[in-house]
């Protein structure tokens, strides 16, 4: 089993994506131990809300996705203290939200799994990133 920090973009892709990449990611999930900052729950909820409001997903799919999202993270980490300080030090290259994932992946020495192309190629990335 491989460990990854998974960000909200990858988790949302796994939850509601309708592409081959989403299918491939869903197939890999059982083989992973998934880590994330507590922030992921709020970010995923916000993205699901936007998808529902835009008509990309229905209410039932959004409700189910939010419920399942809570089950897909094996280890959550508080985004205060050392993690927040490390993320803050990355603020010149990343939003604080993204920096929390990068800092956690760096601290755990595991890859960051993301569907965000910009993040995966950002200068100053302090961890390995895998684009899905």
Is the pLDDT reported for residue 42 higher than 90? yes
pLDDT of residue 124: 83
Mean pLDDT to the nearest integer, 16-40: 97
Residues contacting 99, CB < 8 A, separation 6+: 86, 87, 88, 90, 91, 93
Residue 73, burial from CB neighbour count under 10 angstroms (0-12, 13-18, 19+)? buried
Radius of gyration of the CA atoms of the chain, in A: 14
CA distance 41 to 24: 22
pLDDT tens across 73-93, in order?
Answer: 999 999 999 999 999 999 999
Q: CA neighbours within 13 Å on the CB side: how many for 119?
A: 29
pTM value?
Answer: 0.94
Phi and psi, residue 121, nearest 5°: -115, 10
In which residue are the tokens 């970010």 written? 43
In which residue are the tokens 């569907």 written? 115
Binding site membership for Mg(2+): which residues?
7, 98
Percent of the chain topping pLDDT 90? 96
Q: How far is CA 38 from CA 22, 42, 43, in A?
A: 23, 8, 9
Mean pLDDT to the nearest integer, 98-104: 98
pLDDT tens across 110-131, in order?
Answer: 999 999 999 999 988 989 999 9
Return the CATH architecture of domain 2-131.
3-Layer(aba) Sandwich (3.40)
């Amino acid at each position: 089993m491989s460990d990854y920090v998974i960000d909200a973009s990858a988790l949302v892709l796994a939850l509601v994506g309708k592409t081959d990449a989403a299918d491939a990611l869903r197939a890999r999930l059982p083989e992973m131990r998934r880590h994330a900052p507590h922030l992921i729950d709020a970010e995923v909820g916000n993205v699901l809300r936007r998808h529902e409001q835009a008509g990309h997903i229905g209410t039932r799919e959004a409700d189910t996705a939010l419920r399942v999202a809570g089950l897909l993270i094996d280890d959550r980490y508080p985004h205060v203290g050392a993690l927040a300080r490390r993320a803050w030090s990355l603020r010149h290259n990343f939003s604080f939200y993204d920096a929390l994932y990068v800092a956690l992946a760096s601290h755990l020495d595991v890859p960051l799994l993301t569907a965000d192309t910009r993040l995966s190629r950002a200068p100053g990335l302090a961890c390995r990133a895998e684009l899905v």
